[in-house]
Amino acid sequence: MTLSNLQKDRIIECLESKKRMDGRKLDEFREIKAELGISQNAEGSCSVKIGETEVWAGVKMEVIEPYPDSRDEGTFVTSAELSPMASQDFEMGPPKIDAIELGRIIDRGIRESGFIDFKKLCIKEGEKVWQIYLDIFAINDDGNLLDAAGLAALVALANSKMPVYDEESGKPKHELSSEGIPLDKDAMAFNMTFHKIDNTFIVDPSKEEEEASDFRISLAMADNKGEPRITSIQKGKEAAVSLEEIETILKTAEIKWREMFPQIMEQVWGK
């Protein structure tokens, strides 16, 4: 979308008075909702909404030959699709840079946290392992697709079931077991993205606020005995970031993590 100078000035004016156009505080998220089982053909699926931003995520699994450098570990592949249905900014065709970046940010946060136990995905070392496919679809982009996609990925993985493996054929059957994907609940990291607009930092931006921002920093954060542990970090947009700004973001992220972590755990694992 194209943001006019008048719109941007109005957003900055509101932020200078410690409020936002929709009435939220600077560090306040919109309402978060998750719905399970939106696809009957996936091993696990969900819809996640943050405000009016909506993302679907689905998990599929297949048996493959392991990579030569990880003969006793399964694999994990993340893809993202940003279709014109979600925003007029997105186009049909092969994934563009925004979709590739979103998929890689979510993939890295999950992979580096240790959330998935890849060794338990090994069927026979050097011959057969499970591969997890995580597919993310943007349904409506009203800002902060990154955090919505990150949460949808966690919910879909946490609520997936392993396919039944047929020893005779060496292939999975067309049925699911009662066993979940091997995950380390204590290692779960969730994504939070901070945007700088003029001299103010905010979380969970609207579409207009995203357009007005100078840069964004996405942090995947896990629990380390009651303290936040950063598993990945990614900067986006053109503006440079100073050391002082990084320190401000990290301090804000620590405070916000303590508030959000229990809520995210409830969304992912249920009450």
CATH number at residue 103: 3.30.230.70
Residue 122 within a domain:
yes
How far is it, in rounded angstroms, from Cα 86 to Cα 44?
22
What is the enclosing helix (H) or strand (E) of 220? strand 215-224
Cα–Cα distance for residue pair 173/15, rounded to 1 Å: 55
Of residues 217, 239, 219, 237, the one with CA closest to residue 229? 219
Q: Which residues lie below 8 Å from residue 252, measured CB to CB, with a gap of 6+? A: 27, 194, 201
Question: Dihedral of the CA atoms 49, 90, 235, 263 (nearest 10)?
Answer: 0
| pLDDT per residue rounded down to tens, the chain (271 residues) | 567 788 888 999 999 999 899 999 999 999 999 999 999 899 999 999 999 999 999 999 999 999 999 999 999 999 999 999 999 888 888 888 999 999 999 999 999 999 999 999 999 999 999 999 999 999 999 999 999 999 999 999 999 999 999 888 888 888 999 999 999 999 999 999 999 999 999 999 999 999 999 999 999 999 998 999 999 999 999 899 999 999 999 999 999 999 999 999 999 998 6
What letter would DSSP give residue 67? Answer: P
Q: What DSSP element (H or E) covers 250?
A: helix 243-269
Determine the Cα–Cα distance for residues 49 and 56; give it in Å rounded to an integer. Answer: 9
Could you tell me if residue 7 is inside a domain?
no
Domain for residue 20, yes or no? no
The answer to whether position 19 is within a domain reads no
Residue 260 belongs to some domain of the structure: yes
Query: Quick one: tokens of 50?
Result: 């943050």
C-alpha–C-alpha distance, residues 260 and 105, integer Å: 19
**Distance separating alpha carbons of residues 8 and 208, to the nearest angstrom:** 8
- Classify residue 45: in a domain, yes or no: yes
Number of domains comprising the chain: 1
Q: What is the pLDDT of residue 92?
A: 85
pTM of the model: 0.94
Residue 141 counted as domain residue? yes
Please name the residue that has the structure tokens 């929709």: 22
Closest to 128 in 3D by CA, of 184, 67, 80: 67
Q: Are 134 and 153 in contact (CB under 8 A)?
A: yes
What length does the chain have? 271
| Among the listed residues 189, 231, 237, 198, the one whose alpha carbon sits nearest the alpha carbon of residue 216 | 237
What is the span of the domain harbouring residue 233?
A: 25-269
In a domain, 4, yes or no: no
Separation in Å, CA 116 to CA 105, 146, 243: 16, 20, 33
